[in-house]
Homo-oligomer: A and B are copies of this chain.
Amino acid sequence: MKRLLVLLLVGGCASLAHADEGMWTYNDFPAARVQQAYGFTPSATWLDRARMASVRLAGGCSGSIVSPTGLVMTNHHCAHSCIEQLSTAKRDYVATGFLAKVPADEVRCPEIEINQLQKITDVTARVQQATVGLTGEKFASAQKAAFAEISKACATSDQLRCDVVTLYRGARYDLYQYRRFQDVRLVFAPEFAIAFFGGDPDNFEFPRYDLDVSFLRIYDQGKPAKLDTYFAWSPEGPKEGQLQFVSGHPGSTARLETVAELEFERDHQLPLRQLWLAEYRGMLAEFAARGPEQARIANGRLFGVENSLKVYNGLLGALREPSLLEKKRAEEQSLRKHLAANPKLASVGSPWDEISQAVAKERNFYTRLMYLEGTGRGPMGIDSLLFEQAQLLLRGSVETTKPNGARLEEFAESNLPALLQELGSTAPIYDELEIERLTFSLTKLREALGPDDQTLKSILGKQSPRQLATELVHGSAALKDPKQRLPLWKGGKAAVDAAKIPMLDFARRVDPEARAVRARWENEVKSVTERNHEKIARAQFAVSGTSAYPDATFTLRLSYGAVKGWTRADGVAIKPFTTFDGAFSRATGAEPFKLPDSWLAAKGKLTLATPFDFVTDNDIVGGNSGSPVFDKELRITGLIFDGNIESLGGDFLFDDAHNRAVAVDSAALLEALSKVYGASRVVDEIRTAPAPRG
């Protein structure tokens, strides 16, 4: 499940690639390396086709276009929230699965936005010009203004989304122009029990037996979108040792963070988040134990939390291996020596020391930042859907009156369509769960700030967390209804100021200090580390040339590799494929090892030797969930849904001997769609699609 994006709030730097390492940008793809390793040179046309057939789910996943009429394949866990939002107590598609037997049965997902990358433009010169000679707050606001201006000029309609992407941590800025699709409908999803067979215990493990797939369809003006470029399908799946590509959106990596930053992550950032999540998991699991309806409304979030916890455990495990930091320290020393020996690079100064000082400052207010301004950017903050809506309205009413470049970045013109989708979402909000989430958040907030903190006092007053949470949720029903939210947004500041909604008042009490601590972080930390990483990246270019890829930034990347098993630390050799019969052997009849009835019923019809899941050494991380695996003929051979537990250290270092990507085999997808689900409409569409055009 993991390859969902887990927000780390880290940036991206350059790293030198070894073996099949690398999450390459499409405009700097090392075709010659692939030729050397696998005897195949991707052409420019081939690359364009792969790029145009790859999509991003704005919520944090990847996907692929698999037919000329807008059919998109992604993971079940990437569409989980949609499937849950379309369900009710009486009609639970998470449990039963979903199949639109006829086109009219395809149902719109309330909050899914799909982006298709149209064009990449280098805007480095324009951005760097805007910030020449500036530092601190001036640097931060000049850069933000430049980003906003460039994006706005590019996003000439709501159909387009434009982002300025910071690559190599500021050594390069590229403008990514996407086509934006907000009418996305659910076509097919299997039962959760097979999509996530083995549950949390098997998550990040292999051998594995998951059918973690869903099919969506992009609509355009009420009809299935006609898209020129799409992947074909390999009915037989991949073979061991065969070259495979993965095109998707790795979320974030930290492969050239400095030692000071990694130590901060190890000792403060990750443990803080991990502890918060562990307690939150205990709360949610116990809430779900109240009854089946509570389980239904809480489980999606619970599984996301468990997934993030495993990620953090893996990251911390990697960082606590002394060898990793020793290696990083040695790399840093080596580059410092190069700088010292090269008078031309004297102007670089001591970027490591400046970053180290910024991180030391960050430590003083990091907890405050996460608790007051973490909402929606990571696991922490005030965890409440009603609060998110209230904050959106409150801040929107102020920010949208400012010039585009002076706004909080999420309110820049180019982001407004996404915000309007969120405000207009018909996804249900459940009071009972909201009260528990908010009680939890307020209790943790009081713990973090202390009961004597002035901000905490102004937020909580004389109430207990539970008293306040109950009052806010029961009093703010208006925010549950998109028909009441949208007019407030459109009515602007006057409408929002006049609204008598307790959660809005609460958001107002949180806002001044939340903004202040965010500004402090942007000015004292982010702007300093960015400028200095830019210096390090330039120095590294000067020393090692440009055979490097930037750290992941949730933008489209292409990786190459092969189907390949590995040997675990305990000496056990793991084969690269599993088969259907393995799933039947592993089933115990009790969750999460309970196969759905549909599978038990279809067992006699299935070819049990069909390959089910497989592993490759492609270099992927969180955000790659739903990425297509494809061969050099641009035929889908698999669907990425996870990495092995060893791959979690991949945020810091890629280890070709142990890191593995985990995918569903294209043969398994066909077999299950046909024989378990009778989804002939989907099967026919992907199998009979004409050969892709570019």
Partner of A286, one of B282, B464, B592: B282
**Least distance between A47 CB and chain B CB atoms (Å):** 41
The residue from B320, B436, B593 contacting A451, defined by CB atoms under 8 A apart = B593
Measured CB to CB, the closest approach of chain B to A53, in angstroms, equals 37
Identify which of B274, B284, B463 contacts A590 (C-beta below 8 A).
B463
Residues of B within 8 A of A501 (CB): none
Task: Name which residue of chain B comes closest to A587, CB basis.
Answer: B462
A201-B450, A450-B201 known; A436 vs B282 contact (CB < 8 Å): no
Residue among B202, B467, B590 making CB contact with A464, cutoff 8 Å: B590
Judged by DSSP, the binding face of A is: helix
Q: Nearest chain B CB to A496's CB is how many angstroms away?
A: 29
Residues facing B in A444-459 (CB within 8 A) are: 446-447, 450-451
- Please give me the residue from chain B that is nearest to A201 by CB atom: B451
For residue A49, CB closer than 8 A to chain B, the reply is no
How far, in whole Å, are A281 and B277 apart by their CA atoms in the complex? 12
- Chain B residues near A289: list those with CB within 8 A: 436, 439, 466
Residues of B within 8 A of A267 (CB): 320
Contacts of A287 in B (CB 8 A): 286
Q: How far is the CB of A338 from chain B (nearest CB, A)?
A: 27
Is A221 on the interface with B (CB-CB < 8 A)?
A: no
**Does A285 touch B at the CB level, under 8 Å?**
yes
Q: Is the CB of A282 within 8 A of B278?
A: yes
Enumerate chain B residues within 8 angstroms of A286, measured Cβ to Cβ.
282-284, 286-287, 436
Say yes or no for A521: interface residue by CB 8 A criterion.
no
Residue of B nearest to A276 (CB): B278
Q: Which residues of B contact A30 (CB under 8 A)?
A: none
Q: Is A279 an interface residue (CB 8 A)?
A: yes
A462-483 interface bits toward B, Cβ cutoff 8 Å, 1 = contact, 0 = none: 1110110000000000000000
Q: Does A353 contact B (CB under 8 A)?
A: no
Q: Does A326 contact B (CB under 8 A)?
A: no
Against B, the Cβ 8 Å flags (1 = close, 0 = not) of A309-324 are: 0000000100010000
Task: State the copy count for this chain.
Answer: 2
Smallest CB-CB separation from A466: which chain B residue? B289
B residues in contact with A278, CB < 8 Å:
275-276, 278-279, 282
Q: Which residues of B have CB within 8 Å of A447?
A: 200-201
Known interface pairs A279-B278, A279-B279, A286-B436; A589-B462 also in contact (CB < 8 Å): yes
- Residue A240 at the chain B interface, CB threshold 8 Å: no
Least distance between A289 CB and chain B CB atoms (Å): 7
Specify which of B274, B280, B464 is in contact with A275 (CB 8 Å cutoff): B274
CA distance in complex: A588, B276 (Å) = 27
Q: Does A300 contact B (CB under 8 A)?
A: no
Instruction: Tell me, rounded to whole Å, the shortest Cβ–Cβ distance linking A313 to chain B.
Output: 8
Q: How large is the interface on A (under 10, 10 to 19, 20 to 34, 35 or more residues)?
A: 35 or more
Q: Is A650 an interface residue (CB 8 A)?
A: no
When C-beta atoms are compared, the residue in chain B nearest to A267 turns out to be B320
Q: In the complex the two chains form, what is the Cα distance from A300 to B31 in whole Å?
A: 64
Closest to A446 in B: B201
A290 at the B interface (CB under 8 A): yes
Contact of A198 with B by CB under 8 A? yes
A591 at interface by CB-CB < 8 Å: yes
Q: Kindly state whether residue A424 has any CB partner on chain B within 8 Å.
A: no
Bound-complex Cα distance A440 to B286 (A): 9
Q: How far is the CB of A559 from chain B (nearest CB, A)?
A: 29
Measured CB to CB, the nearest residue on chain B to A468 is B590
Cα distance A429–B267 in the bound complex, in angstroms = 40
Cα(A284)–Cα(B286), bound, Å: 8
Contacts of A451 in B (CB 8 A): 198, 201-202, 593
Hey, which chain B residues are within 8 Å of A466, CB to CB?
A: 289
A492 within 8 A of B: no
Closest to A285 in B: B283
- Chain B residues positioned under 8 Å from A201 (CB to CB): 446-447, 450-451
User: Cα distance A198–B447 when bound, in Å?
Assistant: 12
Give the residues in chain B near A285, CB-CB below 8 Å. 282-283, 440, 443
Docked Cα-Cα span, A290 to B287, in Å, equals: 9
A374 — which chain B residues lie within 8 A by C-beta?
Answer: none
- Whether A271 is near chain B, meaning CB under 8 Å from some CB there, is yes
- The residue on B at minimum CB distance from A319 is B267
A590, B282: Cβ atoms closer than 8 Å: no
Interface residues of A in 222-255 (CB under 8 A from B): none
Give A586's nearest chain B residue, CB to CB.
B451
A200 and B290 alpha carbons, distance in the complex (Å): 26
| Nearest Cβ on chain B to A214's Cβ, whole angstroms | 25
Tell me, rounded to whole Å, the shortest Cβ–Cβ distance linking A478 to chain B: 26
Q: With the chains together, A280 CA to B436 CA distance in Å? A: 16
**Least Cβ–Cβ distance between A171 and chain B, in angstroms:** 31
Cα(A279)–Cα(B279), bound, Å: 4
Complex-state Cα separation, A267 to B316, whole angstroms: 9
Q: Quote the shortest CB–CB distance from A648 to chain B (angstroms).
A: 15
| CB proximity of A267 to chain B, nearest CB, Å | 5
Determine the residue in chain B with the shortest Cβ distance to A199: B451
Specify which chain B residues have a CB less than 8 angstroms from the CB of A439 in the assembled complex. 289
Q: How far is the CA of A205 from the CA of B452 in the complex (A)?
A: 11
Cα separation A467 to B594 with both chains bound (whole Å): 13
Bound Cα distance from A133 to B289, whole angstroms: 56
A62 to B362, CA, bound (A): 41
Residue in A267, A282, A588, A589 with the greatest tally of chain B CB atoms within 10 Å: A282
> By the criterion CB–CB under 8 Å, are B320 and A590 in contact?
no
Closest residue of chain B to A320 (Cβ to Cβ) is B267
CB-nearest residue of chain B relative to A205?
B450
Question: What's the Cα separation between A84 and B659 when bound, in Å?
Answer: 52
CA distance A202 to B282 in the complex (A): 23
Given contacts A205-B450, A289-B466, 6 further A-B pairs with CB under 8 A are A201-B450, A268-B320, A274-B275, A275-B278, A279-B282, A462-B593
- The 3 A-B residue pairs with the shortest CB-CB distance, nearest first, are A282-B282, A286-B286, A282-B283
- A residues neighboring B (CB under 8 Å): 198, 200-202, 205, 267-268, 271, 274-276, 278-287, 289-290, 316, 320, 436, 439-440, 443, 446-447, 450-451, 462-464, 466-467, 588-593
Subset of 12 A-B contacts with CB under 8 Å: A198-B451, A267-B320, A268-B320, A278-B278, A278-B282, A282-B282, A286-B287, A290-B290, A451-B593, A462-B588, A462-B590, A464-B590
